[in-house]
Structure 1
Amino acid sequence: MSEHSAQPVDTYPVSFTVDYPDRPLNRLTTFFRIVVVIPIALVLSAVGGSEIDTWNRVDGSGAVHAAFTAGGLLFGAPLLMIVFRRKYPRWWFDWNIQLLGFSNRVGAYLSLLRDEYPSTDEEQAVHLEIPYPDAERDLNQWLPLAKWFLAIPHYVVLFFLGIAGTVAIIIAWFAILFTGRYPRGLFDFVVGVIRWGVRVLAYAYLLTTDRYPPFSLS
């Protein structure tokens, strides 16, 4: 995933695009997409944060707690660093961007936008660009405490967009089975919904920008 230190003034500092397929999509993997996505979805779940808890009694006197946990997007730690130190450690930023990119590739595959099996580390045809912020210069020290709340109007809109996007994907599923093509209008709409969600996530939880996300699919 590429990063740019400078963005045009009229461009929101989060970019998400998916290349429109230049060939017919695979009808067989499209038909069984909900099944074939399971292995990579399990990998994403393991990397993105999951927990399996087991409790075992020991001599009847107590419990041993064994947990398997992994990863997840970092939110609390960057928030505290921005508020108290005005810093955003680069490796935390890189982790979040790489994990979000991986998640987006799995999401694009599940949404039938592409039929290449999602890579854990290669960009493929799903492009995410979020510039690394200078916390001291670009980010308000106290705004991270309220961003999740300020984004509530977006949560409401995204709820309904998510429903519409699901309907669009179902229609596209039938279209691909019969024609091998994802209708361009539906493709752009689904990508737009994901883009909207990524911008809200970058603003409210990744904390990479203070610019309020636009109410726009484009």
Structure 2
Amino acid sequence: MTTYPVRVNAHVDPVLNRWLWLVKWLLVIPHYVVLAFLWPAFAVVGLVAFVAILVTGRYPRPLFDFALGVLRWTWRVAYYSFGALATDRYPPFSLGEEPDYPATLDIAYPERLSRGLVLVKWLLALPHLVIVGIFLGGGGYLVSKADEWALSPAGGLVGLFTLIAGVVLLFTGRYPRGVFDFVLGMDRWALRVAAYVGLMTDAYPPFRLDTGGDEPGTTVLDAPAPPTDPDRGTAARVVPAVLGVLLLLAGVGTSAAGALGLWVDTTQRDATGAITTPVEHLHADGYALELGTAEMNWTDAGRLVGEDWLGRLGIRVDHDAFVGIGPTPAVERYLAGVERDRVKGFGDQALYQHSTGTAPATAPHHQDFWVASGYGGLTWVAQPGDWTAVVMNPDGSRVVDTDVAATATLPALTPVAWSLLGAGVALLFLGGGLVLFAATRPTRTRGESHA
């Protein structure tokens, strides 16, 4: 019987100062400053170790000892401050083991590590990272830089229960044992995940809240057996893991797109059933403002990209402005030689392309090529062809200044959104199954024969 390779032990001081915890965040600032330099070094060491493991299957011992030292230092500081508040003994400035300190951490050095597993450990740990994020807030103080988590010590369940323990200590002079056991269980879980993501062990963290200050000996690792070959069966685990992660990412994106579509479909329609874009304020120094050209091409057999999908399109402008949509060649002939501005990009600052020229020969409403036009807005059913939308003053005078918004009924949004959501959920289940299969698949040992 052996414990999990990451061993976390701690005990509560018999007597704790009622008031000291109120200023511990201030007292540990020197440690935060040092850790702000140690954690970037930890990341660099992890990158070097990644390459070393990928090439040799080993975590260089000096680098391993340094990474373990950073985790030990961080754990002692967290235990003293808002990771537990369970000791008044000031943490030493040390990367060493410090076995007499009330909080200790040890990680068994692995003689061999899987070269394939190192590629996907952080992906396999995603379920744990979600849990650790809940425990510690924003991903936790053990998996982010010290100068970031130090500024929000009360984040997550650990911070909440530690604060409760501090308040109880303030009024009773005693640290509630039940709170201590629960907080240590969450801290232990986070440290196990930090070691796994930090490539310091191949043993997958258990989904188990081992409460209390003493590390339980609950896991039987490998009984004495022929030495394992980390590379045997690596492909059988890494390939489904990578495919699973890719499916998970695709599922997240697809389901998010579907959920966003459903949100827009149910909450963003106006009284007419149309979805409206944000209002843009546009200004043209010329006589006309071209909103852009749309190329709509589909056949009678492929009208899924036509009216059935887009529905009725619309453009809304100020009530005293003329807006029209016409075939692009006809619009170009009408505006040939006319001073105008073409909108090249929308956003906080619209982008324009200015063309010099003269005033138009006739007012816009005198033209018969508009397929849809009006004062203050228009609606139009999309048709195949190249179309250009133009905004002008009714009398064709210079300087066009108006607010513009586009609308569309988009009847296909509902079925498309539900289809995306369903496909995304299916991809998530499939990807999760592959990742779980890869994570739980045993590694064969040398000499093991197939049935």
Q: Give the alignment's TM-score, normalised by structure 1.
A: 0.79
Partners of 1:86 and 1:216 in 2: CA distance = 28
Q: Which amino acid aligns with 2:127?
A: P
Q: C-alpha displacement at 1:105, in angstroms?
A: 0.4
SS in 2 for 1:15: strand
Q: Counterparts of 2:135 and 2:22 in 1: how far apart (Å)?
A: 24
> What is the distance in 2 between the residues matched to 1:211 and 1:40?
30
Residue 90 of structure 2, aligned match among 101, 109, 117: 117
Report if aligned partners of 1:202, 1:208 keep a CA contact under 8 Å in 2.
yes
Q: Which residue of 2 aligns with 1:167?
A: 160
2: CA distance, partners of 1:174 / 1:47: 32
Aligned to 2:42: 72
**Counterpart-to-counterpart distance in 2, 1:34 and 1:129:** 25
Q: 1: CA distance between counterparts of 2:18 and 2:184?
A: 20
Determine the structure 1 residue equivalent to 2:122: 148
Q: Which of 11, 28, 34 lines up with 1:19 in the alignment?
A: 11
Name the counterpart of 1:203: 196
Cα distance, 1:200 vs structure 2: 0.7
Q: Once the two structures are superposed, what CA deviation does each residue of 1:115-143 show, in whole Å capped at 9, x if it has no partner?
A: 111112234111111111112xxx21110
Deviations 1:5-25 (A, max 9, x none): xxx35x3111112112222x1
Q: How many residue pairs are counted as aligned between the two chains?
A: 184
Structure-2 separation of matches of 1:157 and 1:164? 10
C-alpha separation in 2, matches of 1:92 and 1:158: 25
Partner of 1:28: 19
Q: 1:141 to 1:72 in 2, by over 3 A?
A: closer
Of 73-82 and 144-153, more deviation after overlay is shown by 73-82
Question: Which runs of structure 2 are paired with 1:103-114 in the superposition (5 Å)?
Answer: 103-111=74-82, 112-114=85-87
Q: Which is greater in Rg?
A: 2
Query: Which of 119, 127, 130 is the equivalent residue of 2:104?
Result: 127
- C-alpha distance in structure 2 between counterparts of 1:190 and 1:214, whole Å: 17
Aligned: 1:46 with 2:25? no
Question: How many Å separate the matches in 2 of 1:216 and 1:17?
Answer: 16
**Residue ranges of structure 1 left out of the alignment (5+ in a row):** 1-7, 50-70
Aligned AA (2:171): F
- Could you say which residue in structure 2 is the equivalent of 1:4? none
Larger RCO: 1 or 2 (CA < 8 Å, sep 6+): 1
Q: Does the aligned pair in 2 maintain the 1:29–1:36 contact within 8 Å? A: no
CA contact (8 A) 1:31 1:177 kept: no
User: CA separation in 2, counterparts of 1:37 and 1:201?
Assistant: 22
Partner of 1:27: helix, strand, or coil?
coil
2:119 maps to amino acid = L
**Counterpart for residue 100 of structure 1:** 71
| Corresponding residue for residue 217 of structure 1 | 209
Aligned counterparts of 2:90 and 2:166: Cα–Cα separation in 1? 17
For structure 2, which runs of at least 5 residues remain unmatched after alignment?
137-155, 211-451
> How big is the shift at 1:110?
1.1
- How far is the alpha carbon of 1:41 from its aligned partner? 1.8
Look up the match of 1:62: none
Paired amino acid for 1:101: R
Q: Distance in 2 between matches of 1:42 and 1:182?
A: 29
Aligned-residue sequence identity (percent) comes to: 39
- Measured after TM superposition, the shift of residue 159 of structure 1 is 1.7
The reply on whether 1:185 has 2:178 as its aligned counterpart is: yes
Letter in 2 for 1:41: Y
Match of 2:141 in 1: none
In the alignment, the residues of structure 2 paired with residue 165 and residue 157 of structure 1 have an alpha-carbon distance, to the nearest angstrom, of 12
Write 1 or 2 for the structure with the bigger share of strand.
Answer: 2
Q: How far apart, CA to CA, are the structure 1 residues paired with 2:87 and 2:53?
A: 37
Letter aligned with residue 156 of structure 1:
V
> TM-score, normalized by length of structure 2?
0.39
Contact 1:13/1:130 (8 A) holds in 2: yes
